[in-house]
C-alpha cells in the first residue's frame, strides 16, 4: 500500500500526539511488526515487541519529556518522512541532573504497508542546559 503525502502527514500527526500523551500503545499501533529502530547511540532494536519492551520505561516511569516539532519533510514517492525536533526533559548529565535539558535531533522514518518500518534517530552531542551548551556524556 502506497500512502499519499497527506496520509503520511496524518500518521505523523497521530505519532506526535501519542508521544505527547505518553501513549505507548498509540505509538506501537503505527509500527510495522518488523520495525527497525536505530537509536542515536548506535543501538539497534528489531521487531515491534522488542521495541515496546525497550520504550516501556519511558512511558511508565519517566513521563517528563516532550518532543517539539521543528520541521517535517515528506517524500511521498519514497514513503519517507524526516522529522526535525527538539526534546525537553530533566537532564541525566551528572553535573546537571534534573535541570531542563534541550536536545535537538532528527528522525528519518520509512513507511511500509502503511506502518513505520524503519526509524533512525540522530541527535546533537552538544545539548543545552540553563541556556548554555554542554557536551553530552550520558547514555539513556
Predicted confidence at residue 3, as pLDDT, reads: 97
Predicted confidence at residue 77, as pLDDT, reads: 97
How far apart are the C-alpha atoms of 129 and 93, rounded to whole Å? 10
Computed over every residue of the chain, the mean pLDDT equals 92
- 119 bridge partner residues: 37, 109
State phi, psi for 20 to the nearest 5 degrees. Answer: -65, -25
- pLDDT category, 124, cuts 50, 70, 90? confident
Mean per-residue pLDDT for 83-102?
89
Mean per-residue pLDDT for 128-135?
85
Mean per-residue pLDDT for 121-132?
86
Q: Which residues fall within 8 angstroms of residue 88, CB to CB, at 6 or more apart?
A: 65, 66, 68, 100, 101, 102
pTM exceeds 0.85: yes
Q: 82 or 99: which carries more pLDDT confidence?
A: 82
Predicted confidence at residue 134, as pLDDT, reads: 85
Q: Give pLDDT tens digits for 56-88.
A: 988 887 678 899 999 999 999 999 999 999 999
Q: Give pLDDT tens digits for 7-59.
A: 999 999 999 999 999 999 999 999 999 999 999 888 999 999 999 999 998 88
Q: Which residues fall within 8 angstroms of residue 95, CB to CB, at 6 or more apart?
A: none
All 3 cell numbers of residue 23?
Answer: 501513549
State phi, psi for 3 to the nearest 5 degrees. Answer: -90, 145
Q: Which domains does the chain have, with CATH numbers?
A: 5-84+106-123 (3.10.450.50)
All 3 cell numbers of residue 12?
Answer: 505523523
Burial of 35 per CB tally in 10 Å (0-12, 13-18, 19+): buried
Amino acid at each position: 500500500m502506497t500512502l499519499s503525502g497527506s496520509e503520511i502527514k496524518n500518521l505523523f500527526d497521530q505519532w506526535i500526539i501519542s508521544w505527547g500523551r505518553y501513549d505507548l500503545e498509540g505509538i506501537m499501533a503505527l509500527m510495522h511488526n518488523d520495525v527497525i529502530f536505530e537509536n542515536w547511540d548506535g543501538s539497534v532494536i528489531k521487531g515491534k515487541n522488542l521495541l515496546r519492551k525497550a520504550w516501556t520505561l519511558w512511558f511508565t516511569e519517566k513521563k517528563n519529556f516532550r518532543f517539539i516539532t521543528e520541521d517535517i519533510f515528506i517524500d511521498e514517492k519514497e514513503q519517507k518522512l524526516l522529522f526535525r525536533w527538539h526534546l525537553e526533559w530533566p537532564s541525566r548529565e551528572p553535573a546537571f541532573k534534573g535541570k531542563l535539558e534541550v536536545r535537538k535531533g532528527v528522525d528519518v522514518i520509512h513507511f511500509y504497508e502503511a506502518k513505520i518500518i524503519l526509524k533512525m534517530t540522530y541527535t546533537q552531542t552538544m545539548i543545552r542546559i540553563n541556556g548554555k551548551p554542554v557536551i553530552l556524556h550520558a547514555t539513556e
